[in-house]
Amino acid sequence: MPLKQLLTPLPFTQVQLHDAFWAPRMLANRSATLPAEYAQLESTGRLAALELAWQPGAGNPPHIFWDSDIAKWIEAAAYALAAQFDAQLDAQLDAVIARLARAQQPDGYLNTHFIVTERAGLQRRWTNLRDSHELYCAGHLIEAAVAHFEATGKRTLLDVMCRYADCIDRSFGRGAQQQRGYPGHEEIELALVKLHRATGEARYLALARYFIDERGQQPHYFDGEARARGGFAAWPHLRVLARGCLHLVMVNAGFDRNGLKFLDQLHKALPWVAVCLAGRLVAHQNSTI
């Protein structure tokens, strides 16, 4: 069935807030939070990791989440830049994006943790989608790229992330040479929709739909992936069987509402736990928590 867009989100660049509640908080974010976050990215080694200089045995190895932390700062900085131009922040963004571009691999892949481990002889790319957050980090980088493009009109990060999205598109799907995987932590699905809107490229929207529809297909991808690692599978492979407006408390479930099926299975094993969770979900739906 062809996808039909019913609503068009208003670009954040067309929104201005001059009220007594949000405007002061936006000022605090621009003047204090963003500089503090950037300082943390520097002091913890997250930005330095983009140089891909880490070697086995050295301290402070790049963590699997680090790229997403950089991406979240870029996205937030782009929002601030759209609200009020700041030449210093603009230059800071350009410098970080240039470092990301240099870290990108020839095939488009971009994840500092896995790049440095690959260089150490450990081929771990796309081997633990359930736990290692590769696609999650990619999703946040894509969202950052779209926000930066919309805020500044620059394609510097957008082009980098289109190459990464193309790499992911080649790697995942139902083709003979592709992996039929999907992310353990949902995030890239919504990011690919944003990338489609920004570029008009239909493949990105199709890839988002693939990730959503493939979850729960049998044989479950995470089961085989876990067995290959000598581990066990977990609930993130569960398929969305019901689609409604329920907002779930659980983080992963909140991205695509897989928690509905999860609750059903949990109820069969531990009825009282499911009742407690369901009560929280109903309360959340009614905006009482």
**Pick the residue with more confidence: 118 or 64?**
64
User: Does residue 51 sit in the same domain as residue 177?
Assistant: yes
pTM of the complete model:
0.81
pLDDT given for residue 232 in this prediction? 63
User: Does residue 130 sit in the same domain as residue 51?
Assistant: yes
Residues in the chain, total? 289
pLDDT given for residue 230 in this prediction? 78
Nearest to 151 by CA among 13, 19, 246, 47: 13
pLDDT given for residue 284 in this prediction? 37
- pLDDT tens-digit profile of 98-147? 999 999 999 999 999 999 988 777 788 999 999 999 999 999 999 999 99
Query: Token pair 């990215």 is at which residue?
Result: 41
The verdict on residue 141 lying in a domain is yes
- pLDDT tens-digit profile of 224-251? 998 888 766 555 555 544 333 333 334 4
pLDDT given for residue 167 in this prediction? 98
Q: In degrees rounded to 5, what are phi and psi of residue 110?
A: -150, 95
User: Does residue 165 sit in the same domain as residue 84?
Assistant: yes
**Pick the residue with more confidence: 202 or 255?**
202
Domain boundary among 195, 211, 236: 236
Query: Token pair 């481990």 is at which residue?
Result: 117
Q: In degrees rounded to 5, what are phi and psi of residue 128?
A: -145, 70
Domain boundary among 201, 220, 236: 236
Nearest to 278 by CA among 260, 256, 265: 260
The tokens for 275 are 């009742």
- Residue 287's domain comprises 238-289
11-29 average pLDDT score: 94
User: Does residue 171 sit in the same domain as residue 278?
Assistant: no
Top mean-pLDDT range of 80-89, 122-131, 261-270: 80-89
User: Does residue 44 sit in the same domain as residue 55?
Assistant: yes
DSSP state of 172: B
The verdict on residue 4 lying in a domain is no
The verdict on residue 167 lying in a domain is yes
Residue 158 C-alpha from the chain's centroid: 15
- pLDDT tens-digit profile of 169-198? 999 999 999 999 999 999 999 999 999 999
User: Does residue 141 sit in the same domain as residue 22?
Assistant: yes
Average model confidence (pLDDT) across the chain: 84
Query: Token pair 């490229």 is at which residue?
Result: 201
User: Does residue 149 sit in the same domain as residue 281?
Assistant: no
pLDDT given for residue 117 in this prediction? 85
Number of domains observed in the structure of the chain: 2
pLDDT given for residue 269 in this prediction? 52
User: Does residue 208 sit in the same domain as residue 229?
Assistant: yes
Res. 3 pLDDT band, cuts 50 70 90: low
User: Does residue 232 sit in the same domain as residue 246?
Assistant: no
